[in-house]
Amino acid sequence: MSAAESSLQHSHSGNTVQTADGSLIYYKDWGSGAPVVFSHGWPLSSDAWEDQMFFLAEHGYRVIAHDRRGHGRSSQPFQGNDMDTYADDLATLIEALDLQGATLVGHSTGGGEVARYIGRHGTDRLAGAVLVGAVPPLMLKTDNNPLGLPLSAFDDIRAGVHKDRSQFFRDLSEPFYGYNRPGAQVSQGVRDSFWRQGMQAGMPAAYLCIKQFSETDFTPDLAKFDVPTLVIHGDDDQIVPIAASARRTAELIIGSKLLVYAGAPHGLASTHKDRLNQDLLAFLSNPGAV
């Protein structure tokens, strides 16, 4: 047995797992049945998935969601705020709980985390994957990715976080949920929850994760998907525009299915939670239908 394997066997305590560098990753684990593991977006926490988790737990599934390192209630190390480590932390959680036949569900940056997990750790423990408003294959505009966003857009995010991240997160919650659109039914509670979750993250993760979700090229990871995969995206996503993300991802993952929510924003897990819950349940009930 390797030292890493030995350490892993003793890393699971209560509702945290300890990673190779000593960081503690907080997670929620509800219900029983086939496991569904959720990865959240930036700058949020596992709280962002509670509507889906509670619904699926009520319908016979075991639901697990962790706070990415630096976010929520997990450790806030300066090191390890990179996509490879995020994916390895997810692998530590999955292995510590000895999950088999799991379905991974990732939103936004969490979708990148899911993709990189599959790229680095394979699909032996998986039954399927769902990418919701996810950042793959690449958000940044390049010569090979002309539909992406310019680097200046992400520099602006960094500047906002650096200058006054509390106000920046308050402002970001408006387009995140499409509340800046005419006729939108604004929930101040949802906006407040976004701000609360964002402010739980430490500054290193809040700042350094921006480069990870914007500049990481997940194209090689998507080529390694060999389980049923559902791609869900709103066509009015102002944070991760659909043309360079979900539409390309669906082309790159062989056999995947794309569901487009007309008029839906980036934060559709809140604004369109009832539809998302039903689509997740349908997929989990019959992933082979994809």
Tell me the two tokens of residue 103.
Answer: 């379905």
Q: What beta strand segments (E) does 123-249 contain?
A: 126-132, 229-234
Residues 34, 86: Cα–Cα separation, whole Å? 23
* pLDDT band of 1, cuts 50, 70, 90: very low
Percentage of the chain beyond pLDDT 70 is 95
The sign of the torsion formed by the CA atoms of 166, 168, 172, 174 equals positive
> Which tens digits make up the pLDDT trace of 65-102?
999 999 999 999 999 999 999 999 999 999 999 999 99
Q: Would you place residue 288 in the very low, low, confident or very high pLDDT band (cuts 50, 70, 90)? A: confident
User: Can you tell me the mean pLDDT for 217-234?
Assistant: 98
3-state percent helix, strand, coil for the chain, nearest multiple of 5: 45, 20, 35
Total H helices, total E strands in the chain: 11, 9
Query: What span, in angstroms and rounded, lies between the C-alpha atoms of 111 and 231?
Result: 10
Query: What sign does the dihedral 186-189-192-196 (CA atoms) show?
Result: negative
Helix (H, G, I), strand (E, B) or coil at 12: strand
Give catalytic residues, as residue numbers. Answer: 108, 237, 266
The amino acid sitting at 88 is D
The mean per-residue pLDDT over the stretch 212-224 comes to 98
Question: Model pTM?
Answer: 0.94
Angle separating helix axes 151-176 and 188-200, nearest 10 degrees? 130
Distance CA 193, CA 18 (A): 27
Quickly name the fold that domain 3-284 has.
Answer: Rossmann fold (3.40.50)
pLDDT tier for residue 280 given thresholds of 50, 70 and 90: very high
